[in-house]
Structure 1
Amino acid sequence: MKTFLLPFTLLLLSSFQVFGQGSFTQLTGRVVDDKQIPVEFVNVLLLNAADSSLAKGTLTDSTGRFEFESVAPGKYLVSAELIGYAPSRSDLFETRGGQVEIPVLTLLNGAVSLSEVVVAAKRPFIELQADKIILNVESSPVAAGSNGLELLSKAPGVNVDQDNRISLKGKQGVQVMIDGKNTYMSMDDVVKLLQSTPANAIEKIEIMLNPSAKYDAAGNAGIINIKMKRDKNLGFNGSATIGGGYGRYYKANGGLRLNYRSKQVQLFGDYNYYNNQRWQNIEIDRKVPFEGDFTVYDQIGREINWLNSHNYKAGADWFVSPKTTVGVLYSGRQGDWDGASTNISDISGPNPWTHSQVRANGDISEHWNNNSYNANFRHQFNEKGRELTIDADYSTFANDNNQFNFNYFLNTNGEETSAPNLIRNLSNSDITIKAAKADYVHPIGESSRLEAGLKSSMVRTDNGLDFGQQQDGEWVQDSLRSDHFIYEEDIHAGYVNFNTQYKNIQIQAGLRAEYTVSDGMSVTLDQRVKRDYLSWFPSLSLSRQLAEKHNLSLSYSRRIDRPNYENLNPFVFFLDQYTFGKGNPFLTPQYTNSVSANYGFKEVFFVSLSYSRTDDVITEVLEQEDETQRTYQTVQNLAQFDNISLSFSAPIEAAKWWTLRANLTGFYNSFQSPYLGGVIEQSQLSANVHLSQQFSLPMGIKGELTAFYQSPSAYGMFEMRHQFFIDAGLSAKVLKGKGTLRLNVNDLLNTMRFAVKVRQDNIFVDVENYRESRKANLTFTYNFGNSNVKAARRRSTANEDELNRINQN
């Protein structure tokens, strides 16, 4: 890795000597009324001069002053607005570095109706910046009626496969955060959380490939931060949403958000409900070696799922002084996931069985109840950005899962050849997380900043499995396959991060250390795995403006992915008699070194080149017992994974009423690892294309048409087939702009299919999965109360990384 980084860094630094550079600017200003009295809580917007699109937003303090930090070179306007006053705008100005004081903005008294106040600050659905990709959910008609997972699949470079595994630019191991805090869930439960979250409750999604040392080191593919909506208005306001949809079954969603803010306090809360009934089919073809030939299993499964979820949140911020804020936040989630399935496996070819067919009827019932509590403190020591934030979190997660699987063995005449195998899995999981963190920011001079922080988290998981078989009409526990698994983990971390400007090069360098102590104990199997290790995670980013319209940046980071709590759990879960899944308590962390170079033109066109190498990569694999002809899925550490990706994004204005954005990502995945006496060698050059089109139609109607294509790809021992889908949507403002009506159709052509195959040693498996992907959704949102734009405080809590590893819904 070092040999790769050295020439890459030298190449970039040499380019810095060739081109000229403009630096970032600190903008300050003041807002007064017509009597020259400073005005507090004025909404101040920094607008791009070209199209009045929003660049940044802030509020004035008690002295009427405002500040924008790290403003990129460009041409801007500043707008100051407050209900009851006529808006005030600055003249156009250009930033080229240093500190700029905006001439005083004066608000004139006047009865100004909301209909007269128009700010052209609508962002595109997909927004690309040098260090992140942003999906502005509110800007997209196709987002209406969707859930969070469906929404995420529309992001450039993001792919969600048939098992709902999330990958970014061909890499799995994505860290998912919500409002800047870790979810402490396993990826399976992050998926369930996203499936139960209506898209209308999400404000935006941020994708960061190489986060700084300030963030937890987890996530080899990067971080996806989902920001939930929170009202930003002065006084009392809120919104209500109701929606419904239909594919083969009906869906429904609804939500209510309330917000009250004064000079001393802000109270906020929201509730969201999501109901979804859907179907999916799965076909599995397996060939198992037997006496020099193969036994063939052709399996067809049909499943119907019902999801009911309730997500709620309440919080308060107390503005102790203009520079000090104390807050509390509670969030909860509860819901049910029920399913009924039928699997038929036809057996042909030479085999050791007296039956030729296995019919498995399954029922699953899952319930979760999760609660998180946060207390936070923020103090700004001065107007230059010196700041201290403290967060403390306590979270509990309870999950009960009851699964019944009835296997019947039939011959070619449909007659039973032996007694049925009736089994049940009754499992429960209780997780407790305690976490605290502190972050400090200290400006140094005019262009430097030092950040430092500490964090500790303590996690305990308690999992029980009651495995039983029915005998003579009675359930009898199988003590050999039942289990009690306890896992405890403490992580203590600290970081320093330094930002400065040297010879017109913007530099960010950081170092994070994490000390981990873990203890996993399977009581029934009498297996114990204890570990403790100290890991270091450096990060570096360099950026430079190459002439007026060109920007170049380079970033490097080292990251870690610890096994999620569910994967460490050795419990066994059955699909039928011959296919099942189980965890692996002996998994070790994986480490990733990644570097990326980014080029931007006019802050509109972007090209990104990335390379990463992951050691001991945590990967799902298939293993097989030829004697019993059972194939099962588990998780193992493979030796090495290399990923190279190249992405390009560009907008196209076909007409004044028609704009397009094309996002293309090509990536090369390569796996090399010894495995079970053989070798896994898998490599594939792949690409995905995301094309988004927006239309301005008559009568103020907005339209959007998006298309996505994923070429064949590979990950671990799995080879995935191509995917393709088209979404379409319309939106319109109603009721004098207070209401929004959205209609969309997902997977318009019903082309969404997932297919994967495995050809590894003695394993020959083909899987095809298709589900209710085509559906129409109609939603209506009504905003009420004071509409004066008011910035809300956002914060990250202490329990971010741990939540990402929990099996939470």
Structure 2
Amino acid sequence: MKKLFLLALTIITTNTFSQRPQGKAKESIKISGTVIDKETGTPLEYATLVLQSIQDPSKISGGITDIDGKFNVEVPGGQYNASIEYIGYKTYKLPQTSFDRSTDIGTVYLEIAAAELEGVEVVGEKTTVEVRLDKRIYNIGKDITTSGATISDALNNVPSVDVDVEGAISLRGNENVRILINGKPSALAGFGSTDALQQLPADAIEKVEVITSPSARYDAEGTAGILNIVLKREKTLGLNGSVNTYIGYPANSGLTANINMRTDKFNIFNTTGVRYRDSPGSAYFDNTYSSGSYDRIIEDRIYNRLDKSLNTNLGIQYFINDQSSITASAFYRLSKDEDLTENTNERYNLNQLADNTFREESEVEDDNDYQVALNYENNLDDDGQKLTVDFQYSKSDETKPSIIEERQTLPSDQLIALENIYENEVENEYLIQADYVLPMGESQFEIGYRGNLEENITDYRLDSLDQSTGLFNTNKDLTNKFTYDENVHALYSQYGNKFGNFSFLLGLRLENTQLKGQLESEYDASELEEDLGVAVDANFDKNYLGLFPTVNLIYELDEEGMQSISLGYNRRINRPRGFYINPFPSRSSRTNIFQGNPDLNPAFSNTFDLGYLKRWDKLTLTSSIYYQRETDSFERVQQSTGQTTTDGIDIIRTLPINLSTENRYGAEAGILYNPAKWLRLNSSVNVFKFDKEGVYDGVDYGADNTSWFGRFSSKVSLPKKIEWQTNAFYRGPSQNSQTESDGLFRIDLAFSKDIMKDNGTVSLNVSDLLNSFKRESYTETDFFTSRSEFQWRKRSFRLSFVYRFNQPKERNGNGRGGNDDGGDEDMEG
């Protein structure tokens, strides 16, 4: 595979270098300039300069822009019809036709080719979609339903994205999605978890990039694709910023401040927020058993979750000269969760109540996250060559002590079990990457390296009370320390070009993955070997070498960029996280344990995506159909352990395995419609189907499922500068091999009014207006059934106030005017 990669790289490099001018004729001149998105102020990569000879119109030359939107093209001096083009944008025609000496045409600002956007007077309130060769970019505008909300809440308003009742994020119905912050894995997003996104403020987001066909510069992790969250940072000179404070019910309050100070040599930026949030929830389970001391158990659970957090991100960018800069940033998050779960059980035999129990679990979760990052950029010459080097270190230290007490309350009051659990999880991650971009006439070549080194240490101890002695004894079988390392080294190369209305981006990525595990425990791994039917080594060291090609094509069906077709293909990988690998059984209750599988291997997928974009005067349509085939996909299966608790209840184990081959088909469409200045409508729908095949331990886990989800948003501008926004979301019924889930529906409502000469905005939000966002499921196996209802968070109300200083209102809407450190395409290695 190494030889194949080197051969492919050599062929690409040889072909692209052969297109470069071999010698500079005496009459040759250079035409240079920069292309910028007029709305956002961001550079447009792969914009095309077209030069058509006036004397011989059949002769067409030109070039494309680099990551910074710059082009530098060498052509013979003469008379040309010159224009600048970019997919989905209005063509800009240069007034100059005579080029007899080298010319810098300066900065050219392109406008999106959507007439309806021109009719909206305040640009910061627009919702727009930009289609690139490898992504869709949603500038989600001034979404007042997320004022004072979290990043997780804001993602639930992005087309193709779904956030379930527990905060799990999926893309097109697939939860194996890679979350990036400013193009990189980050402590801001959490390590393999989305918990941090439920604590960070939504108003820190500039835009969200939905990348369903990632180019080679991205990590190959995530079979569903990538969500890249780009955070705000102003480029306006001087001191500017905003302050957002809010209060809500159930108890929810916080304060977030965004401050930016820019001079000719420095840019200093900071976002700091504090939060206090109570999130009550509930669950109901009706379980039946084919064996054990009870044939039916009904559980009522009440969740009381209190989150107190502080987060701050501070950075400084120093402009060394006009060509280079260095940026240093540091992030810190301190979080303390206090969770109390109360579980009332009614236990039956032959429809007769046998006894009642009450279980109380108290958990305190202290979480400290740190991250430091350095970024160096150097524009090596005026031709557009660029070198970018990055280093990032992240650390998360999470301590979770908990106490579990379970008592019998009927027919008598007595203690059943008392347990103390101590769990500490420490994660360290190093990221090193370098990218080099080389424009070559009309094309562009890019090459890069990225190393991502992760270490996860989980220390778990369970102490149980021995009622006969009154002493706590450590459970040796359930106490362990597991160290899991995931080291990924990657080289990538990609080449892009445009011929008339046709653009393409081809890439190849070589990744080497090392997965290492070390278990320190008295647990007998032979039990797991017996369950899996294969030899299992909890102390393992595995290596995988793979090639991941990507192909992205776009063809514009008209000259104005109002209609286009895109085609994408990519190969991706799903690496098991440490939680899935750790063979040590951990448990959410005395009757349910989760056990990782060190024999779990990565899953691989191949995905094809065909898209269509059409813009009318007041309407924009985006649509696509897609197909994905994943091999060795993960499945969590539930089994009876053959063991019972001291009071005779079967203990059930959940085990992840490489079970099946999965085929996934889908279609999606999104509409942005602005029929009038006072009304803006946004809707999307995604329909998908998957079928999987797999047999494990004599049980057929094959399943077919067709489901869909859709969302609708309307925003009405009322008199007196009042805005009214309504968001509705519905997810259809779904099923897997063991569980069927009913549909989910929710409505969010918000009103806002501008005050203080438009420097301030007051908003009132209602989340889940009908209190209907509840998951109802039915699970059936050969040894038990379960009907359940689960509500993660009840209906909530929130009143917020935003004040902006030295910052026009439109810049607060979606962070127009800049990217965060390393937040654009040049950071996505």
Using structure 1 for the length normalisation, give the TM-score.
0.82
Alignment partners' CA distance in 1, 2:326 and 2:282: 50
Aligned twin of 2:148: 145
Aligned twin of 2:260: 259
Alignment partners' CA distance in 1, 2:794 and 2:139: 23
Find out whether 1:694 has 2:690 as its counterpart: no
Residues 167, 791 of structure 1: CA spacing in aligned structure 2 closer, same or farther, 3 A cutoff? closer
Aligned twin of 1:757: 778
Aligned twin of 1:611: 627
Aligned twin of 2:16: none
2:478 aligned counterpart, secondary structure: coil
Aligned twin of 2:349: 349
Please point out which of 464, 471, 475 is paired with 1:469: 464
1:122 aligned counterpart, secondary structure: helix
Aligned twin of 1:112: none
- Counterpart contact for 2:181–2:189, Cα < 8 Å: no
Aligned twin of 2:439: 443
- Counterpart contact for 2:688–2:708, Cα < 8 Å: yes
What is the number of residues matched between the two proteins? 718
Residues 379, 715 of structure 1: CA spacing in aligned structure 2 closer, same or farther, 3 A cutoff? farther
Residues 74, 217 of structure 1: CA spacing in aligned structure 2 closer, same or farther, 3 A cutoff? closer
What is the RMSD of the two structures over their aligned residues, measured on CA atoms? 3.4
Aligned twin of 2:274: 273
1:149 aligned counterpart, secondary structure: helix
Find out whether 1:600 has 2:613 as its counterpart: yes
Aligned twin of 1:359: 358
Residues 185, 683 of structure 1: CA spacing in aligned structure 2 closer, same or farther, 3 A cutoff? farther
- Counterpart contact for 1:184–1:801, Cα < 8 Å: no
Residues 181, 437 of structure 1: CA spacing in aligned structure 2 closer, same or farther, 3 A cutoff? same
Deviations 1:207-250 (A, max 9, x none): 1111101000001111111122223321222222211111xx21
Question: What letter matches 2:195 in structure 1?
Answer: K
Deviations 1:234-271 (A, max 9, x none): 1222222211111xx21011112222111111111221
Residues 700, 398 of structure 1: CA spacing in aligned structure 2 closer, same or farther, 3 A cutoff? same
Please point out which of 557, 579, 596 is paired with 1:546: 557
Alignment partners' CA distance in 2, 1:294 and 1:462: 38
Find out whether 1:434 has 2:455 as its counterpart: no
Deviation at 1:576, TM superposition (A): 3.0
Deviations 1:95-130 (A, max 9, x none): xxxx99879999xxxxxxxxxxx9743353463636
Aligned twin of 1:513: 510
Aligned twin of 1:481: 478
Aligned twin of 2:652: 631
Please point out which of 222, 225, 235 is paired with 2:225: 222
- Counterpart contact for 1:300–1:343, Cα < 8 Å: yes
Deviation at 1:338, TM superposition (A): 1.1
Alignment partners' CA distance in 1, 2:671 and 2:770: 26
Deviation at 1:478, TM superposition (A): 1.7
2:579 aligned counterpart, secondary structure: helix
- Counterpart contact for 1:688–1:708, Cα < 8 Å: yes
Please point out which of 579, 587, 604 is paired with 1:591: 604
Alignment partners' CA distance in 2, 1:187 and 1:313: 15
Deviation at 1:359, TM superposition (A): 2.0
Residues 74, 547 of structure 1: CA spacing in aligned structure 2 closer, same or farther, 3 A cutoff? same
Aligned twin of 2:313: 313
Aligned twin of 1:536: 547
- Counterpart contact for 1:236–1:259, Cα < 8 Å: yes
Aligned twin of 2:727: 706
Deviations 1:572-614 (A, max 9, x none): 4433322343433332211111010000112821110011011
Structure 2 counterparts to residues 54-133 of structure 1, below 5 A = 71-72=86-87, 74-75=89-90, 120-122=122-124, 124-125=126-127, 127=129, 129=131, 131-133=134-136
Alignment partners' CA distance in 1, 2:820 and 2:488: 28
Aligned twin of 1:778: 799
- Counterpart contact for 1:46–1:77, Cα < 8 Å: no
- Counterpart contact for 1:137–1:202, Cα < 8 Å: no
Find out whether 1:565 has 2:553 as its counterpart: no
Question: What letter matches 1:556 in structure 2?
Answer: Y
Deviation at 1:523, TM superposition (A): 1.2
Deviation at 1:503, TM superposition (A): 6.3
- Counterpart contact for 2:663–2:691, Cα < 8 Å: yes
Deviations 1:457-501 (A, max 9, x none): 222222211110123443322222110111223221100011112
Structure 2 counterparts to residues 164-563 of structure 1, below 5 A = 164-183=167-186, 190-246=193-249, 249-290=250-291, 295-349=295-349, 356-411=355-410, 413-416=411-414, 419-446=415-442, 448-471=443-466, 472-502=469-499, 504-524=501-521, 525=523, 527-548=538-559, 549-563=562-576
Alignment partners' CA distance in 2, 1:590 and 1:762: 29
Alignment partners' CA distance in 1, 2:739 and 2:572: 24
Deviations 1:715-737 (A, max 9, x none): 45332210111111122322222
Deviations 1:404-450 (A, max 9, x none): 11122354x3444xx5211121011122222211011111112x111
Using structure 2 for the length normalisation, give the TM-score.
0.80
Question: What letter matches 1:124 in structure 2?
Answer: K
Residues 256, 102 of structure 1: CA spacing in aligned structure 2 closer, same or farther, 3 A cutoff? same
2:542 aligned counterpart, secondary structure: strand
Deviations 1:503-539 (A, max 9, x none): 6421111111111222101111373122111011111
- Counterpart contact for 2:517–2:539, Cα < 8 Å: yes
Alignment partners' CA distance in 2, 1:574 and 1:401: 14
Deviation at 1:790, TM superposition (A): 5.5
- Counterpart contact for 1:58–1:791, Cα < 8 Å: no
Question: What letter matches 1:518 in structure 2?
Answer: L
Deviation at 1:801, TM superposition (A): 10
Alignment partners' CA distance in 1, 2:294 and 2:723: 57
1:75 aligned counterpart, secondary structure: coil
Give the share of equivalent positions with the same residue, in percent: 24
Residues 541, 100 of structure 1: CA spacing in aligned structure 2 closer, same or farther, 3 A cutoff? farther
- Counterpart contact for 1:28–1:66, Cα < 8 Å: no
Alignment partners' CA distance in 1, 2:597 and 2:270: 40
- Counterpart contact for 2:152–2:198, Cα < 8 Å: yes
Aligned twin of 2:669: 648
Alignment partners' CA distance in 2, 1:273 and 1:695: 31
Alignment partners' CA distance in 1, 2:136 and 2:717: 24
Alignment partners' CA distance in 2, 1:798 and 1:203: 14
- Counterpart contact for 2:517–2:540, Cα < 8 Å: yes
Residues 763, 132 of structure 1: CA spacing in aligned structure 2 closer, same or farther, 3 A cutoff? farther
- The answer for unaligned runs of 5 or more in structure 1 is 1-25, 31-43, 48-52, 60-64, 79-89, 94-98, 107-117, 803-809
Deviations 1:167-198 (A, max 9, x none): 11111101001121113799786321011112
Deviation at 1:70, TM superposition (A): 6.3
Q: Which moved more, 1:724-733 or 1:777-786?
A: 777-786
Q: Which moved more, 1:304-313 or 1:574-583?
A: 574-583
- Counterpart contact for 2:604–2:631, Cα < 8 Å: yes
Find out whether 1:721 has 2:742 as its counterpart: yes
Residues 797, 328 of structure 1: CA spacing in aligned structure 2 closer, same or farther, 3 A cutoff? farther
- The answer for unaligned runs of 5 or more in structure 2 is 1-29, 46-67, 72-83, 97-101, 110-119, 526-537, 645-649
Residues 763, 184 of structure 1: CA spacing in aligned structure 2 closer, same or farther, 3 A cutoff? farther
Deviation at 1:453, TM superposition (A): 0.5
Question: What letter matches 2:408 in structure 1?
Answer: F
Alignment partners' CA distance in 2, 1:45 and 1:29: 10
- Counterpart contact for 1:326–1:376, Cα < 8 Å: yes
Question: What letter matches 1:463 in structure 2?
Answer: T
Question: What letter matches 2:157 in structure 1?
Answer: K
